[in-house]
Structure 1
């Protein structure tokens, strides 16, 4: 046989193998590839955005759950990262949240995230069996920092764990949520219910609940295990203007509601009792004063961002001696399903704008 024909057939065979292998690889990893291709840096402070393509298996997670961060990491590594190791580390964080109404009748939900320097990821998700949502992830929880950024493929793959690490968000039904640290004993409920952690509780609410009442019922169906051996509470608000702060006192769920059409939370417990209430009362009072003066009805979204600015923290030393400041301020519009976000207290610059529509 002519050696040229042999070479030609060999090359064609190799080409077919490469095409088939590439096609199989793309079919298997097409959602991951699409998600990573959407990853974009939009603010040098730093803020990334991602359109998460496909389902991330949260229904599978809810069948088994996780009673600590290690079990959550194990699930995420197997389900999403194909064995690539990732870390979940939630440090002490000081935050502020509030909900109110604008003069046009829009329901809004504001949140400051206070911590040491923390690159952020704003991610949109659309699970197969749940509501579309947008949420904010502190990339520091996934091992990123000022020197380590998701700027290469091997590092970017870790961002696929983002759906399991949201700290605030808004879903397509107009339900918003934010999680805040409180200085209490870590929550560790022990019944026969499926276990969830702090960030997966946020994901549960965003994916499954359309109202505050539904969110409460979903949370009651699971045993809460707070992350990083710390304690947290959640403020949740919906498009109807209803709000609640969910706390866990001695491993029992406690619901703090207000007769007013607005509510706020910082880093101290709101449930009456004899314990260390925590800190952040100064930020709480700043928000409360403005909201009380306006009876919970603000002129517009900018007035909501002004509240976040008033309650924001410039660089200061936290209780661990670390330099801490407001890393991002985000205002969700529960009516229009939009969000405006300011990084690093740059309130004099235009906000980054997002929409679920």
Structure 2
């Protein structure tokens, strides 16, 4: 059943500009703060432990929370999506000992959440969530709608060193395949983080599902794993296309890459800047250098810049206000 936002929240969301959306099968929960979360499969103690872990760490505002217990990543509710501005992502794997995934997330001034998950039937992960899509405001203390936060990863990395992020692609169209379940265009990231250890496994997760772009900007996705492998997943003329990374790096902004010559891709300003630096560096960059690249292509509406060390497990996050946070995920 389609759910609708209260009038004020709907007006706010329609006014926003962003690089991604959840789509009609995507994860936006609205209602009272005491409403039963759709995704939670926790017992009462686990839910309380999760809520008790919430803390504010930055004036973005940025929050952190550790999710305790199980959730169902397949349940869905809807939200009216915003229109895209742009995001910038890249993988640098010129040094096979330290492949790195990086992204700028460009959005409106909404609160964000760093979420740790460790589902009993999936991989542990760290992901970043825009909690406005849950109907949660800048003061989320005690708001049990946060228990649906696992449904909303806009980027993240799991314990196997598999990372994924998204960006708007206005040209994308996805044609449903009979017999496959349909998921929202952000929800697919949760399924990838929970179930995939490699790029090949992540592509297989995409292949097993139909994506629903209705009502919001269509998307494309960048994947990378601890081996340094990477791929862009796009939807061209209704069909899923996979563009594998070559030459030690791969970048993604808001222009299609599947079947597009590299010189054409570089006509996009942000893509061209990223490509030039990574080419000159032989695709060898550490987190400091990656953040300098992200800073060079950041926009006025960039909400966060994050790097994921695919073998080190280090997550380094810089928010729009300049605050920096570091997290460590145990990876093999």
TM-score of the superposition, structure 2-length normalised?
Answer: 0.80
Q: 1:89 to 1:44 in 2, by over 3 A?
A: farther
Q: What residue in structure 1 maps to residue 53 of structure 2?
A: 38
Pick from 59, 64, 71 the counterpart of residue 56 of structure 1.
Answer: 71
Whole-Å separation in 1 of the counterparts to 2:251 and 2:130: 22
Determine whether 1:327 maps to 2:303.
Answer: yes
**Paired residue secondary structure (1:286):** helix
Q: Which residue of 2 aligns with 1:353?
A: 326
In the alignment, what sits opposite 2:82? 91
8 Å CA contact retained: 1:135, 1:167: yes
| Cα distance in 2 between the residues matched to 1:33 and 1:280 | 50
C-alpha distance 38-163 of structure 1, shift in aligned 2 (>3 A): same
Correspondence for 2:102 among 88, 110, 131:
110
SS at match of 1:166: coil
**2:133 maps to what in 1?**
141
Deviation at 1:345, TM superposition (A): 5.6
Alpha-carbon shift at residue 30 of structure 1 (Å): 1.1
CA distance in 2, matches of 1:151, 1:169: 21
Inter-partner Cα distance in structure 2 for 1:280 and 1:124: 37
1: distance between equivalents of 2:267 and 2:87? 8
CA–CA separation in structure 2 for the residues paired with 1:287 and 1:278: 11
Alignment partner, residue 127 of structure 1: 119
CA distance in 2, matches of 1:177, 1:91: 21
| TM-score normalised over the length of structure 1 | 0.75
Structure 2: gaps spanning 5 or more residues = 1-41
The offset of 1:184, in angstroms, is: 2.2
Higher helix fraction: Structure 1 or Structure 2? Answer: 1
Instruction: Give me the CA root mean square deviation.
Output: 2.3
Partner of 2:30: none
* Relative contact order, higher structure (CA 8 A, sep 6+): 2
Task: Tell me the secondary structure at the aligned position of residue 233 of structure 2.
Answer: strand
Bigger Cα Rg: 1
Deviation at 1:89, TM superposition (A): 4.4
Distance across 2 between alignment mates of 1:209 and 1:89: 29
Kept after mapping to 2: 8 A contact 1:182/1:278: no
Q: State the 1:355 CA deviation.
A: 1.3
3-state SS of 2:186 partner: helix
- Structure 1, unmatched stretches of 5+, are 1-26, 66-71, 74-86, 315-324
CA distance in structure 2 between the aligned counterparts of 1:57 and 1:280, rounded to whole angstroms: 42
Match of 1:197 in 2: 184
How big is each residue's C-alpha offset from its partner over 1:123-143, in whole Å with a ceiling of 9 and x where there is no partner? 000111110001001122223
Distance 2:141 2:183 in 1: 31
Match of 1:101 in 2: 93
Task: Output the CA distance in 2 between the equivalents of 1:305 and 1:164.
Answer: 27
1:287 to 274, 278, 302: 274
